[in-house]
C-alpha cells in the first residue's frame, strides 16, 4: 500500500494522476509486426525504408531513412480501441535528425475517418541523445454522426530524415 501511495504521489507531482491516462498501445520495436509501410509512399520516390536495429533506448529500435525527395509513411497494422471525443497522448523517443508528424484516423467497421490530417506539421528533430516527444490529440469526428470505436495512426517522416524511434506509446486521457 505504501508503494502504491508513493507511486500516486510521484505521478501527481509530474502533472498527472494514476487514473488520468489509460494505456492503449505500446511498442518497443523488437520487430515491425505492429506497423506497415503505407503503399501511398511508393509514389514519393520510393518512400524511404525502415528496419529494426540494435542500440535503441531500451533494446532494439526502429530506424527510418528518407532521401532529400522522399516522404515515408507507416501505419499501425491493427486498429487501436479508443473513444470518440476523447483525447489521446502519443509519445516516443527519437534520436537523429529529420521531421515527423502524426495522422490519426478513426475506424468504423467499414470506413476510415481522417480526424486531424497532420498533427505536429513536421516536428523538427535534431539530437544525438534520446529525446521524448509527444503529441496531444483530441479525437474529434469531423463528420457529425459518424461514430468510431477504434483508431489507426500514420506516422509521416519528411525528406532528409534519418531517425531512430523507440518506446512508442499511446494513452487515452480518462474523464
Q: Give residue 14's pLDDT band: very low, low, confident or very high (50, 70, 90).
A: very low
**Mean pLDDT in residue range 34-55:** 75
Q: How far is 112 from 135, CA to CA, in rounded Å?
A: 21
Largest CA distance in the chain: 57
Q: Is the pLDDT of residue 40 over 50?
A: yes
Residue with cell 500514420: 154
Q: How far is 72 from 81, CA to CA, in rounded Å?
A: 25
| Three-class secondary structure of residue 56 per DSSP | strand
Query: pLDDT (tens digit, 9 = 90+) per residue, 136-145?
Result: 887 766 666 6
Q: Give residue 57's pLDDT band: very low, low, confident or very high (50, 70, 90).
A: very high
Q: Is the pLDDT of residue 63 over 70?
A: yes
Across-strand partners of 72? 157
Q: Is the pLDDT of residue 119 over 60?
A: no
Domains and CATH numbers, the chain: 21-173 (2.60.120.260)
Q: How far is 117 from 164, CA to CA, in rounded Å?
A: 24
Task: Give percent above pLDDT 70 in the chain.
Answer: 70
Q: Cβ neighbours of residue 118 under 8 Å, at least 6 residues apart? A: 101, 102, 103, 156
Amino acid at each position: 500500500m505504501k508503494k502504491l501511495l508513493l507511486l500516486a504521489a510521484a505521478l501527481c507531482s509530474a502533472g498527472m494522476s494514476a487514473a488520468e491516462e489509460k494505456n492503449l498501445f505500446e511498442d518497443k520495436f523488437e520487430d515491425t509486426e505492429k506497423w506497415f509501410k503505407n503503399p501511398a509512399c511508393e509514389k514519393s520516390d520510393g518512400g524511404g525504408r525502415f528496419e529494426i536495429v540494435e542500440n535503441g533506448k531500451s533494446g532494439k529500435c526502429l530506424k527510418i531513412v528518407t532521401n532529400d525527395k522522399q516522404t515515408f509513411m507507416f501505419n499501425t497494422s491493427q486498429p487501436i480501441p479508443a473513444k470518440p471525443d476523447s483525447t489521446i497522448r502519443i509519445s516516443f523517443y527519437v534520436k537523429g535528425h529529420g521531421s515527423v508528424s502524426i495522422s490519426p484516423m478513426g475506424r468504423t467497421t467499414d470506413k476510415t475517418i481522417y480526424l486531424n490530417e497532420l498533427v505536429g506539421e513536421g516536428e523538427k528533430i535534431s539530437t544525438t541523445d534520446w529525446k521524448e516527444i509527444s503529441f496531444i490529440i483530441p479525437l474529434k469526428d469531423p463528420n457529425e454522426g459518424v461514430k468510431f470505436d477504434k483508431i489507426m495512426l500514420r506516422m509521416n517522416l519528411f525528406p532528409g530524415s534519418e531517425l531512430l524511434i523507440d518506446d512508442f506509446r499511446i494513452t487515452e486521457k480518462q474523464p
